[in-house]
Amino acid sequence: MPRQTAATVADLLALLGDGDPVPAGVLVEQLGVSRPVLARLVAEAGERILRLGKARATHYAARATAGTSNAWPLFRMRADATLQELGTLHALRGDRFHFQPSGESPNLTRSVDAVSGYFPGLPWFLDDLRPQGFLGRTLAHRMGRQLGVPEDLTRWQVRDTLTAILHGGTGMGDLLLGQFAVERALAELDTPTDAVTPAQRAQRYPAWAREALAGEEIGSSPGGEQPKFTATVDTGRSRYAALVKFAPPDEGQAARRWAELLACEHLALNCLRDAGLDAAESELIQTDGHTFLEVRRFDRMPGTLGRRGFVSLLALDTAFIGEGPRDWGLAGEQLLAAHWIERGTADIMARLHWFGRFIGNSDMHLGNLGFHLPDTGPLPLCPAYDMLPMYLAPSRTGIVRPASPLPLAAPARGGQLPHIAWAADAALRFWQAVADSHHITSPELNQLAGENHAAVATFARRFAG
């Protein structure tokens, strides 16, 4: 004779109160009911409860508060600008989420928890869509009231970030969450708000720089602190998407230093490509009042303006490794051990780390390196970006740091000598290019280029032979 029970839907929802998935067996035990009774309670709860998994691996979780939107389709914009539906993201109680794929997407469903597709916060693969940095603050200030979120980005909660992502977020990568993000992406394909021809850049870029500094958002908004805007350059034969950084338009020492650092970034990317590594393509554009560095976006396809997936090392590391700031080489070894990347990718990460050290890039945080994000298989490394001697950057208060020689330290762990040899060779070419560049006019940086060239050569001779 079946057991009688007084368990109710309210009792079931109370056990699922914090949003974490609970195994069906645990619910049966805690409610004191049979599995058929549990199935009946779940059916009575209707849309308030979400089932995760199958058979003995079945878990249940409570959806986010009724009366609010709590499920959205996730799309990918392919390289040819067509759309692929990947699945549905469900919001659970307590700012938890579950991604339910419509097909095979093992990379996206690789869970940070025991339950496949469950995430204790926003899924890691959406993390780079959250507004951040210079343009993120601009978006919050300009669009906060319209979106119903605080105009101060530092006050945003998970739901505020989700709201922005549902309206397109930063536009990084190929993932689009919900109807409005898809509509915005399609509109940008047809009539980009940041469209410009090569001949118009000398006039449009200074105007867009002024608007960006005044708080207007020009185009989509990848992260980063350097003042920037986006552009879609129409050459007449094709189109390409670009991120445009700029130095402040004044004659002060800090502005001149930033202009020379943009030139250094252009030279560093060229040196990496010459050395055989993939790096973002860039172009320096000089106007009467500004220096612009136009960097072609590697998450957009030339011509079609279709997209390629992107996930930053920071987002991936936070979700699956979680050891905080450290050098890219060590992070690469850990991702290799976790079967996210291949051996060759880890080696390139180590080379980029040492190249950055040899050119004085003091800003090699985990957000400044990224991967393409396919549905399955190891993640390919994106082209290098944001590679420049940031140890020479003016402070946030505008104080220009002295052009002092590089502080070079011995490797902290073994196995680095081949990477040191490769990176030193590329860095020597970089410092020579800085010394020869007509964009680098300050005597102190010209002198520093020679001193750093000698310092890198000495270091390499001692460690790499």
User: Which residues are catalytically annotated?
Assistant: 363
Dihedral of CA 49/51/55/57: which sign?
negative
- Residue 333 in tokens: 């070894």
- Residue 356 in tokens: 């950055």
Dihedral of CA 73/76/77/83: which sign?
negative
Rounded Cα distance between 63 and 40, Å, is 18
| β 59-62/22-23 pair status | antiparallel
Closest CA to 444 of 389, 394, 399, 405: 405
